[in-house]
Structure 1
Amino acid sequence: MAILKIAPALMAGCSVILKPSPFTPYCALKIGEIASTVFPTGAVQVLSGDDKLGPWITKHPGISKISFTGSTATGKKVMEAASDTLKRVNLELGGNDAAIVTENFDVAEAANMAATASFAHSGQICMATKRIYVHDSIYDEFMRHFVAIVKTYKPGEGFCSPIQNKMQYDIVRAIYKDCADNNYEFAVGNGDVPEYEDGSDAGYFVSPAVVANPPERSRIVQEEPFGPIVPVLRWKSDSELIQRVNDTPTGLGATVYCRDQTRAWAIASSLETGSVWVNAGLKLHPEALFGAHKQSGIGGELGPLGLGYYTNSRTVTYWKDAETTAPKGDRGLFA
């Protein structure tokens, strides 16, 4: 994620100060160490610190642009602080990405891909699938496949890794508890905390869970848990489906599993998200912009458009009567 910001910034001629999360500084510090051996002194710097550092950076008049990846709540604070000096901002924030499974897609294949997109890194990926909408006619079959896959995930493996910090761990546990308190059906798991053989706490691990068809306005459907729990919901008509998927303040990404190209395009083009993946999730392409709609962000990364966000446009006009003094080869109208 850091390199997605560093590379285009350097290509555009900017110098970079990378400020990592206080929870995860070491990878960024290593990137800075390597960069110092490759780039001119000061071109790439890494500055680590606690929660006071971010506001200092965003308010500093010597910094022209902020590119931030994190929660929507923090992104709003970044934008507010940047407004003092009208800094340019890129904000890649939270999402509540939906996966849509139509009745003409191979059910077992869809279950396998949706499980990977939902539980990789225990769901701690901004563009991970956070809610799954399955057509009513294949819902039961999908759930059989999906549940069987999720039951194979074991604590400590890639699909059941620990929650990243205690603050997020408590949020995830609260969402599990809310589902239990409202008697939603757990098709897999119930928020159990794995233990070591001696009975001691195994840290920030939470057992994967699948919630079967909870209410649309429930917390598990409306919020981004950023943990290993996902709701699977029924739908019948495309128009009803699109309305439900779009009924959220965020709009990062979505996935459509559909073999009918015309129908897949119609659904994808109706979704209020920055990215839509058809028949594959968790895919980023270096040449394609990764951006967002609504409260999931401003601007974007990757591709020519992403590179453009690290530049300021300028129009230079040579009037016709200035041709004699213009540098050779620079006569005419330029932008």
Structure 2
Amino acid sequence: MYETIAKANGDVTVNGHAPKMDFETFRNVINNELTSTSKTRHSINPATTEPNAEVPVSTLEDVDNAVAAARKAAKPWSQVPVEERKEKLVAFADAILEYKDEFARLLTQEQGKPLSQATGEVDMGATWLKAFSQMNLPEDIIEEDDEKKVINRYLPLGVCCAIIPWNYPILLACGKIAPALSTGNTLIIKPSPFTPYCDLKLVELGRKIFPPGVLQILSGGDDLGPMLTAHSDIDKISFTGSIVTGKKVMESCAKTLKRLTLELGGNDPAIICEDVDIEKIIPKIALLSFLCASQICMMIKRLYVHEKIYDKFLAALVEETKKFKVGNGLDDGVFVGPVQNSMQYEKVKTYFDDIPKEGWKPAIGGKLPENGKGYFFPPTIIDNPPEDSRIVTEEPFGPILPALKWKDEADVIAKANDTKTGLGASVWSADVERATRMAKQLEAGSVWVNSHFNVAPGVPFGGHKWSGIGTEWGTNGLKAYCNSQSMWIFKT
């Protein structure tokens, strides 16, 4: 399939495979042309603090050129039959997988996550692209009689922009590319200044598959996002990132009434009931607390354990956490890499600094490594801190977890909901009926019973309260890139 589509675009393939692509040089993609800028910048490898390669610093002129190309391509792309658009998504996924090893290594170098987790993210990105090729938004006949037919249909918005965070740059780019392009929109990607490299290579690869102007990318500094959100000829912004920045994005978009999807931060509670099989669930709880150095919006951030099993559960969790090797993600056996950047390092460090100041009791960890390079923290569990502690009320976005006791069901549900965020939450119990009843009372966009952080491309994902506006993925995610149109057809 890749060979057929590439030939149709006038590209050359070798034995049906994606053309060779280097992973040393990084440029913008505007109208399918590789471009750079007079000024460049670089990010830092968080495991070594050594500089990564230079990338462009886009200007307003670059933004205008990309938006103009996207606008020119929008109408023709929307008229490409939907099945052909989906075929290109599959071809794009297959081309990415041909470079799986290169993308995974580059991701570890720029983001810091262990190579095995980076490889998994590349696979997930391809999975999301292919999954959306199987989804449809058919016209719905709302009403029909001898006189008339009323149809609900969905039309592409036009030019969209996706702002990608630094924790999952490949997956979250693919998770926006797939619904935007499959519904007939054009898309401009803005990667995080901390992790531009994989996204630049993704779109460079995409130019071999998609027509000019359909998929573009601009790398830049902190001023690039505002240029895009304020641009009068962009129809939608899909933003994943912090609550603070999300509010600024929303304010900027309001000036031109852009459509907007926000996926923001969370402070996910996990409620552990007294009847759980501790030995069985401890590996899951540990993994779901410290995966990606806890830099995932839906990691377990507050662990509520029933007082009857608290001591035994905490001891078992400490032993499991001791198994996690901390280090450079390229080294064998590493599970916890560095936090991604110096800004995040300094933020997480304030929680570690508070341990002696606030009298918190670490069950494990709590002390920073001495005289080492890189933005590393040891996986740390705080034993039953006060409910009003920063470590409980805020989202550290780093590997430090509060474990708290509970005994009353109504009280623990109230505490779990006592936050401005509402992204994810879970209940763990051998009594599934009880756990489900408790879970239905939790105020979050995704709720799990006896699990946490399960996601799938066909399942809508979004937050309640300050954790976001709108949803991504699934048919809801497709609709988020469309205008709804009600069509009344009178037969006589």
TM-score by length of 1: 0.92
Q: After superposition, what is the alpha-carbon deviation per residue over 1:14-53, rounded to whole angstroms, capped at 9, x for unaligned?
A: 0000000000000110110111111111111011100000
Aligned-partner Cα distance in 2 for 1:214–1:185: 7
Q: Counterpart of 1:131 in structure 2: which amino acid?
A: R
Aligned-partner Cα distance in 2 for 1:188–1:68: 35
Q: Displacement, 1:141?
A: 0.9
Moved more, 283-292 or 45-54: 283-292
Match of 1:59 among 225, 230, 235: 230
Is residue 2:361 matched to residue 1:185?
yes
Residues 432 and 449 in structure 2, CA contact (< 8 A), matched pair in contact too: no
Aligned-partner Cα distance in 1 for 2:173–2:271: 30
How many residues are paired up? 316
Is residue 2:383 matched to residue 1:207?
no
Q: Find the counterpart in structure 1 of residue 324 from structure 2.
A: 153
Match of 2:391 among 207, 220, 225: 220
Q: Trace 1:277-292 onto structure 2 (pairs within 5 A).
A: 277-292=448-463
Residues 445 and 461 in structure 2, CA contact (< 8 A), matched pair in contact too: yes
Residues 180 and 190 in structure 1, CA contact (< 8 A), matched pair in contact too: no
SS in 2 for 1:313: strand
Q: Find the counterpart in structure 1 of residue 305 from structure 2.
A: 134
Q: Find the counterpart in structure 2 of residue 172 from structure 1.
A: 348
SS in 2 for 1:206: coil
Residues 120 and 158 in structure 1, CA contact (< 8 A), matched pair in contact too: no
Aligned-partner Cα distance in 1 for 2:334–2:249: 32
Match of 2:185 among 14, 32, 52: 14
Match of 2:490 among 295, 299, 319: 319
Q: Displacement, 1:158?
A: 4.5
Q: Find the counterpart in structure 2 of residue 327 from structure 1.
A: none
Aligned-partner Cα distance in 1 for 2:241–2:308: 37
Q: After superposition, what is the alpha-carbon deviation per residue over 1:250-276, rounded to whole angstroms, capped at 9, x for unaligned?
A: 000012211212211111110010001
Residues 86 and 158 of structure 1: is their aligned pair in 2 closer, same or farther, counting only changes over 3 Å? farther
Identical counterparts, % of pairs: 50
Q: Find the counterpart in structure 1 of residue 98 from structure 2.
A: none
Residues 101 and 110 in structure 1, CA contact (< 8 A), matched pair in contact too: no
Q: Displacement, 1:277?
A: 1.4
Is residue 2:196 matched to residue 1:25?
yes
Is residue 2:255 matched to residue 1:84?
yes
Q: Trace 1:94-113 onto structure 2 (pairs within 5 A).
A: 94-113=265-284
SS in 1 for 2:319: helix
Q: Gaps spanning 5+ residues in structure 1: where? A: 324-335
Moved more, 274-283 or 84-93: 274-283
Q: Counterpart of 1:115 in structure 2: which amino acid?
A: A
Aligned-partner Cα distance in 1 for 2:454–2:337: 21
Aligned-partner Cα distance in 2 for 1:126–1:240: 24
Q: Gaps spanning 5+ residues in structure 2: where? A: 1-171, 328-332
Q: Displacement, 1:71?
A: 0.3
SS in 2 for 1:312: strand
Q: After superposition, what is the alpha-carbon deviation per residue over 1:142-196, rounded to whole angstroms, capped at 9, x for unaligned?
A: 0111000112222215532101000100010001111221111110011312x4x
SS in 2 for 1:105: coil
Aligned-partner Cα distance in 2 for 1:306–1:255: 23
TM-score by length of 2: 0.63
List structure 1 runs of 4+ shifted beyond 3 angstroms.
none
Residues 255 and 278 in structure 1, CA contact (< 8 A), matched pair in contact too: yes
Residues 177 and 191 in structure 1, CA contact (< 8 A), matched pair in contact too: no
Is residue 2:247 matched to residue 1:71?
no
Residues 180 and 108 of structure 1: is their aligned pair in 2 closer, same or farther, counting only changes over 3 Å? farther
Q: Counterpart of 1:111 in structure 2: which amino acid?
A: I
Residues 191 and 208 in structure 1, CA contact (< 8 A), matched pair in contact too: no
SS in 1 for 2:325: coil
Residues 427 and 449 in structure 2, CA contact (< 8 A), matched pair in contact too: yes
Q: Displacement, 1:278?
A: 1.3
Residues 289 and 158 of structure 1: is their aligned pair in 2 closer, same or farther, counting only changes over 3 Å? farther
SS in 2 for 1:248: coil
Aligned-partner Cα distance in 2 for 1:253–1:217: 20
Residues 179 and 220 in structure 1, CA contact (< 8 A), matched pair in contact too: no
Is residue 2:445 matched to residue 1:274?
yes
Q: Counterpart of 1:299 in structure 2: which amino acid?
A: G
Q: Displacement, 1:135?
A: 0.7
Q: Displacement, 1:202?
A: 2.3
Q: Find the counterpart in structure 1 of residue 87 from structure 2.
A: none
- Root-mean-square deviation (CA, aligned residues, Å) is 1.1
SS in 2 for 1:143: helix
Aligned-partner Cα distance in 2 for 1:154–1:192: 15
SS in 2 for 1:89: strand
Q: Counterpart of 2:386 in structure 1: which amino acid?
A: P
Aligned-partner Cα distance in 2 for 1:248–1:5: 28
